[in-house]
Amino acid sequence: MIDQTNEVSHILISSEELDAITTRLAAEISRDYRGKNLLLLGILKGSVLFMADLMRKLTIPAEIDFMKVSSYGSGTVSSGNLKIYLDILRKNPEECDILIVEDIIDSGRTLSMLTRHLRERGIESVRTVTLLDKPSRREVSFTPDYVGREIPDYFVVGYGLDYDEKYRTLPYIGIPDFAFRK
Ligand code: IMP
Ligand code: MG
């Protein structure tokens, strides 16, 4: 078996810090969504570990669902450039207060298109929590409602995030050695 930790020797966010981040976010979300119909909408695949840790720390009821989407095209930002591979399964999602759970925001295209798409489908209550945010990379304006941590412009992997489908299983966020040149 290949030891992937050899290829990701720089740890940016440790397991302990990830634990503290999800604890803080779960407390904020539990406070803000008390008495509402919270549906956590995880964006596959990157958000799975973040979602799993976040949901078990909530102190309010919540449903979960998933979408798999990607943005394509670099021209105008419209929901027409959103490719949906897996759609929400929940019937009548407009009955819910949807909180999109994302791993990382980079250009901002995916979430800008996805939130617009959901609102066009009649879902009024759509907000976003992202584990990581790279604000310096933004190409379209998008501001998440909850942020785990802002990071500089590094390519990061682990805790759900991949490079070419590798490294998702690492329990921390790290910078792969090939990307750690700055
Ligand atoms: P955006 O539409 O440019 O904001 O793209 C966000 C998506 O790009 C994320 O959901 C990730 O799948 C991917 N991504 C962006 N930056 C990274 C990174 O540093 N590591 C792994 N995936 C990334
Ligand atoms: Mg992703």
Identify residue 1 by its one-letter amino acid code. M
Q: Residue 22: inside a domain, yes or no?
A: yes
Residue 2 vs residues 7, 49, 168: alpha-carbon distances, Å: 10, 22, 14
Task: Tell me the per-residue pLDDT of 15-43, one tens digit each, with 9 for 90 and over.
Answer: 999 999 999 999 999 999 999 999 999 99
State yes or no: is 106 an active-site residue: yes
CA nearest neighbour of 81 among 105, 111, 103, 102: 111
Residue 10 confidence (pLDDT): 95
**What is the DSSP code string of 144-175?**
-SEEEEE--S---BBTTB-BTTBSTT-SSEEE
Q: Residue 105: inside a domain, yes or no?
A: yes
Q: Residue 44: inside a domain, yes or no?
A: yes
What's the rounded Cα separation, in Å, for the pair 109 and 141?
A: 9
What CATH number did the domain enclosing 48 receive? 3.40.50.2020
State the distance from the centre of ligand 2 to the C-alpha of 33, rounded, in angstroms: 24
Contact between 57 and 26 under an 8 Å Cβ cutoff? The reply is yes
Residue 112 vs residues 21, 118, 175: alpha-carbon distances, Å: 24, 10, 26
Element (H, E) at 78: none
Q: Residue 19: inside a domain, yes or no?
A: yes
Total domains in the fold of the chain: 1
Task: Tell me the per-residue pLDDT of 41-61, one tens digit each, with 9 for 90 and over.
Answer: 999 999 999 999 999 999 999
Residue 1 confidence (pLDDT): 54
Ligand 1: nearest atom to the Cα of 107: 3
Q: Please state the rounded mean pLDDT for residues 81-85.
A: 92
**Confidence class of residue 182 from pLDDT cuts 50, 70 and 90?**
low
Q: Residue 124: inside a domain, yes or no?
A: yes
State the distance from the centre of ligand 1 to the C-alpha of 35, rounded, in angstroms: 32
Decide: 71 in ligand 1 pocket, CB within 6 A. Answer: yes
Query: Which of 65, 97, 106, 162 is the catalytic position?
Result: 106
Task: Tell me the per-residue pLDDT of 86-142, one tens digit each, with 9 for 90 and over.
Answer: 999 999 999 999 999 999 999 999 999 999 999 999 999 999 999 999 999 999 999
Q: Residue 61: inside a domain, yes or no?
A: yes
Q: Residue 3: inside a domain, yes or no?
A: no
Q: Is 113 helix (H, G, I), strand (E, B) or coil?
A: helix
Neighbours of 71 (CB within 10 A): 19
Decide: 15 in ligand 1 pocket, CB within 6 A. Answer: no
Residue 78 confidence (pLDDT): 56
**Confidence class of residue 3 from pLDDT cuts 50, 70 and 90?**
confident
Decide: 130 in ligand 1 pocket, CB within 6 A. Answer: no
Residue 6 confidence (pLDDT): 77
Residue 96 confidence (pLDDT): 98
Q: Is 92 exposed, middle or buried (0-12, 13-18, 19+ CB in 10 A)?
A: exposed
What's the rounded Cα separation, in Å, for the pair 85 and 14?
A: 32
The residue whose CA has the least distance to atom 16 of ligand 1 is: 106
The domain containing residue 48 runs over which residues? Answer: 11-179
State the distance from the centre of ligand 2 to the C-alpha of 114, rounded, in angstroms: 12
Average pLDDT, rounded, for the chain: 93
**What is the DSSP code string of 9-39?**
-EEEE-HHHHHHHHHHHHHHHHHHTTTS-EE
Residue 97 confidence (pLDDT): 98
Residue 159 confidence (pLDDT): 98
Residues near ion ligand 2 (Cβ under 5 Å):
46
Q: Residue 102: inside a domain, yes or no?
A: yes
